[in-house]
Structure 1
Amino acid sequence: MQRISDAERLIMEIIWKAGRPMTTLEIIQRLPQEKTWKQNTVVTFLSRLIEKGIIKATKKGKANLYEACVTEQEYLNFETKQFIKDVHKGSIFGFISALCDNGDITREDIEALMKRLKE
């Protein structure tokens, strides 16, 4: 799996939310109004997502149906692992220490983590 750009992520959020194969037109119709991407732009992003193994396309008549090959949770897990690897040299302890040092983790978070770790 490879990381996806912010634009590709926006398209994936549409596909994940739909939970079914979608055509290019359906994806374009669900884009936020401020995104005025042309069809060719969306097709380019879809092609990149296929190359990265995130989606697959199935031909149906003249249209392609695009569907996710990975769930949103699987992708989030991948991104989290990559972040810890890239920013914290793979150290989960370093990551959690940074959260503690910045005050970004609450006592409730710590208690929930302790409970989870004991499971």
Structure 2
Amino acid sequence: MKINHLTSAEENLMKLFWKMESFYLKDVMEKHPDPKPHQNTVSTYLKILVEKGYLSTEKEGRIFKYNVLVPFEEYRKFLLKEFSLNFFNNSGKEILKFLINENLISQEDLTDFNIEISTTNTKEPQFEFANEILNPKKDKKKNKDKKKKKKKD
């Protein structure tokens, strides 16, 4: 199943739809928290979500019944994979490291899953490339000295 991205407005409506699973337009209007959007606005979003494959419709007389096609867990998995790919080089290890460094997950949380981490200090990264840019004269001098030695030999 191909899952498409949702806008924040679509996502907010889907949160309500995932709770209801199957519903009519009038159900959405009743259960939507205040301030309630206009019925035409909700109807437009329902049409968009059907086109994106998140909802299906069943015609019952003159009205439509909507059913959720993409479960919340599938959407959450899709978002996490996209997030991992775009921001953490598709590495769960990088995500976990970030969560720990930002104190969003604790050692206690990890022990609940039988995961232990050592709190050793990590080395500062070497910036060789930056040094080449910041100190180009040193490298040029070395190269010139090497070329002179080769010419003398």
TM-score range, shorter chain: 0.7 to 0.9
1:18 pairs with 2:20 = yes
Corresponding residue of 2:97: 97
Runs of at least 4 residues of structure 1 off by over 6 A? none
Q: If the length of structure 1 is used for normalisation, what is the TM-score? A: 0.84
Q: CA RMSD in A?
A: 1.6
The CA deviation at 1:79 is 1.2
Greater displacement, 90-99 / 4-13: 4-13
Matched position secondary structure for 1:8: helix
CA distance in 1, matches of 2:101, 2:41: 42
Q: C-alpha deviations, 1:78-104, integer Å up to 9, x for none?
A: 111111112212111111111111121
1:3 pairs with 2:2 = no
CA distance in 2, matches of 1:111, 1:2: 35
Matched position secondary structure for 1:22: strand
Greater displacement, 2-11 / 24-33: 2-11
CA distance in 2, matches of 1:77, 1:108: 24
Q: If the length of structure 2 is used for normalisation, what is the TM-score? A: 0.67
Matched position secondary structure for 2:23: coil
The CA deviation at 1:22 is 0.9
CA distance in 1, matches of 2:114, 2:44: 44
Unaligned runs of 5+ in 1: none
**Matched positions, count:** 113
Letter in 2 for 1:74: E
The CA deviation at 1:9 is 2.0
Unaligned runs of 5+ in 2: 116-153
Structure with the bigger RCO (C-alpha within 8 Å, sep 6+) is 1
CA distance in 2, matches of 1:114, 1:68: 36
From the CA coordinates, give the structure whose radius of gyration is larger: 2
Q: C-alpha deviations, 1:33-82, integer Å up to 9, x for none?
A: 12x31111111111221122111111111111111002111211111111
Matched position secondary structure for 2:49: helix
